[in-house]
Amino acid sequence: MRAIVMREFGGPEVLRLEEVPDPEPARGQTLLDVRLAGVNYADVHVRGNTYLAPVELPCTPGNEVVGTTPDGRRVVALTQGGGYAEKVAVHRRLHWEIPPDITDEQAVPLALQGNSAYHLLFTVARIAKGETVVVPAAAGGVGSLAVQLAHRAGARVVALAGTAEKRRLALELGAAAAVDSSDEDGLAERILDAAGGPVHAALEMTGGRTLHQTLAVLAPRGRLAVYGFAGGELADIPVHTLLQKSVTAAGFWLPHLYTDRTLPLQASMRQLFDAVGNGALKIVSGGTFPLADAAKAHSMLNNRIGMGKFSLDTVTQ
C-alpha cells in the first residue's frame, strides 16, 4: 500500500510517500480501506518530535480517518497513528458508522477534532447556558466546531483569530465577538473589552504568553481548559493566580478517553452526528489534498494559511 512515512523529524519535507506492507490487525482491531485522512496540529507535533507521547521512527502520522470496513460499512475512526495511508488498523471501540446523510468530508473531523471540541467544552470546562467562553484559533478545525457547539449550548462565545477573514468566519459560526490574536501584547485587554468583563471559561492551545493572557481574563471560579502549545513554548501556571481567583485549570488530551469504559466518545459521537445531520453543525473545509501532497498540507497548517479542516485523499492518485 501507499503511505506517508517519516524517517526523521523535521519540517514538512520529511513527509514522503512510500510503498509499505499492509498493516496486520491485532486482536480487537479492524482493517480499514482509508478514503480520507484528517490532518491535525497533533500531526505537526509528531513530525517535530514534540508530541505528548513518544514517537518512534519510521512513523506514519495521522490520527483520524474515514474508511470502509471489510464488510463494506463506511466509518470514521481514531487511529492512534498510521492514518496517512491507504489502509490502517483501528480498534473496534474507536470507529463509528457514518449515517448515510453525512458525507466523508463532513465526517472526517468529527472523531478527533469534533470529540476534542465537545469534551473541552462540556467535560473539562463544563460550560453552561448564559456563560461566556473564550475559543482560540476559532477558524481552525477544533475552534470552528467549538464556536458552534458552545453557541448551540447557549453560551456567549468570544472567538480569537489572527486575520479579519478568520474573525468574520467565527462571527458567522455564532461567536458574539471576535478578537485579533495576531499580537500577544494587550490580548487580555482586548478579550475583556469584547466580553464586557471577565469570562467564565476559556480554552487555550497556544502556550507561552498567550496562556498567561488568557488566564488573566478569567473571573473568580473561572475554568481554563488547556489542550496544546502550538506556539512551541510551554508555560507554567502560577499557583498564586489559581488561589487568588479560585481558578480551575485542567489539561486535556483526547486519547485518555479511548479506554474509558463509560464510553464518553460513543455519546459525543452520537450528538456530533445528529448536529451535522440536522444542519446545526457546519463543517468548514480547508481543502483536500492528494496523499502525496501531505507536506503541502502541513506547510499550510504551519503557516496558518487557510481555515477549517485539511484532509488527505488516499483514493485519487
Name the superfamily (CATH) of residues 2-109+284-313: Medium-chain alcohol dehydrogenases, catalytic domain (3.90.180.10)
Instruction: State the average pLDDT over residues 34-58.
Output: 93
pLDDT digits (tens, 9 = 90+) for 252-270: 999 999 999 888 999 999 9
Radius of gyration of the chain (CA): 19
pLDDT digits (tens, 9 = 90+) for 176-214: 999 999 988 999 999 999 999 999 999 999 888 999 999
Going from the C-alpha of 88 to that of each of 51, 82, 135, the distances in angstroms are 20, 6, 32
pLDDT digits (tens, 9 = 90+) for 52-72: 889 999 999 999 999 999 999
pLDDT band at residue 130 under the 50/70/90 scheme = very high
Instruction: State the average pLDDT over residues 239-255.
Output: 93
**CA dist., res. 276 & res. 228, Å (int):** 26
Instruction: State the average pLDDT over residues 219-226.
Output: 97
Instruction: State the average pLDDT over residues 5-19.
Output: 98
**CA dist., res. 10 & res. 221, Å (int):** 41
- What pLDDT is stored for residue 232 in this prediction? 66
Domain ranges of the chain: 2-109+284-313, 114-255
Q: Enumerate helices (H) and strands (E) in the chain, giving the number of each.
A: 10, 15
φ and ψ of 205, to 5 deg:
-140, 10
Question: Could you say which of 3.20.10.10, 3.40.50.720, 3.40.190.150, 3.40.50.1110 is the CATH number of the domain covering 114-255?
Answer: 3.40.50.720
Instruction: State the average pLDDT over residues 91-106.
Output: 97
